[in-house]
Amino acid sequence: MNKISKLLIAIMAISAIGCVTENRGASSKAEVVQEVILSRRSIRDYKEEPVSREEMGKILECGIYAPSAMNMQPWAVRVVDNKEFLDDVTAIAVKQNPKIAEQPNFRNFFRNAPTVAFIACPEVSYSGEYDSGLLSENMMLAAWSMGIGSCCLGSVVPVMYTEEAKPYLERLELPEGYKLLVGIAFGYPADENTPAAPERDANKAYYIE
Ligand SMILES: Cc1cc2nc3c(=O)[nH]c(=O)nc-3n(C[C@H](O)[C@H](O)[C@H](O)COP(=O)(O)O)c2cc1C
């Protein structure tokens, strides 16, 4: 066998190995994505340390890469890891409903999260809420893939719209005509055991023949 033949055989062998690893990579990528989606749970207790701004940056990047109708990106996201801000809103919420402070290990109104993303969209919009939901889930899944827990908190909205919380709502600098949709708690889970998944109803999605 001459040198050129040997070289050709070597190139073919390397290409074949490349194909196999690429395929293996593809299937493991699917498995990883599915595992992240299926294992994500709402986390309702966190360590005190805020999510690092570097990690939060990646989570935000994954958020804004969500699809949106006509790529309008009609969301506004404001991240707060200022303890004083979160504690002040907590005090307002507790004043309105002292029962929430009775939850076990209660530290703050945001399920003890040290970092909260406030998600808003235009009051009048073609698909602002839908698009913001996609952004939110992208952020939560990205976080989970990095070992960071999250929990969507609809309960935050009515509190932020109270007279007392007005200065904090203003500090979010939402654009004119935007409404707050949800707060998302982020943080390193306090408990290493992930809660069990609440039951899902598979009958809600099916084929029409
Ligand atoms: C729009 C929205 C609002 C929610 N609001 C709250 C909330 O105020 N407090 C809370 O503890 N969980 C809240 N959740 C979390 C849900 O309770 C949770 O996603 C659901 O029970 C399914 O559990 P899982 O996320 O662990 O799969 C909210 C979820 C969504 C999507």
Is the distance from the beta carbon of residue 82 to the nearest atom of ligand 1 less than 6 Å?
no
Residue 143 lies in a domain: yes
Is the distance from the beta carbon of residue 37 to the nearest atom of ligand 1 less than 6 Å?
no
pLDDT at 177 over 90: yes
What's phi and psi for 63, nearest 5 deg? -60, -50
Is the distance from the beta carbon of residue 198 to the nearest atom of ligand 1 less than 6 Å?
yes
Is the distance from the beta carbon of residue 100 to the nearest atom of ligand 1 less than 6 Å?
no
Alpha-carbon distance of 7 to 50, in angstroms, equals 55
Residue 203 lies in a domain: no
Residue 72 CA, ligand 1 centroid: distance in Å: 26
Residue 152 CA, ligand 1 centroid: distance in Å: 5
Looking at the fold, whether 110 and 142 belong to one and the same domain comes out as yes
Instruction: Yes or no: say if 92 and 167 are a contact pair by the CB < 8 Å rule.
Output: no
Domain that holds residue 5: 1-39
* 109-154 tens-digit pLDDT: 999 999 999 999 999 999 999 999 999 999 999 999 999 999 999 9
Structural domains of the chain, count: 2
pLDDT at 2 over 70: no
Residues pairing with 189 in the sheet: 46
Total count of residues recorded for the chain: 209
Residue 197 lies in a domain: no
In this prediction, residue 69 carries a pLDDT of 98
Looking at the fold, whether 77 and 128 belong to one and the same domain comes out as yes
In this prediction, residue 14 carries a pLDDT of 43
Report the nearest-CA residue for atom 22 of ligand 1: 198
Alpha-carbon distance of 112 to 157, in angstroms, equals 17
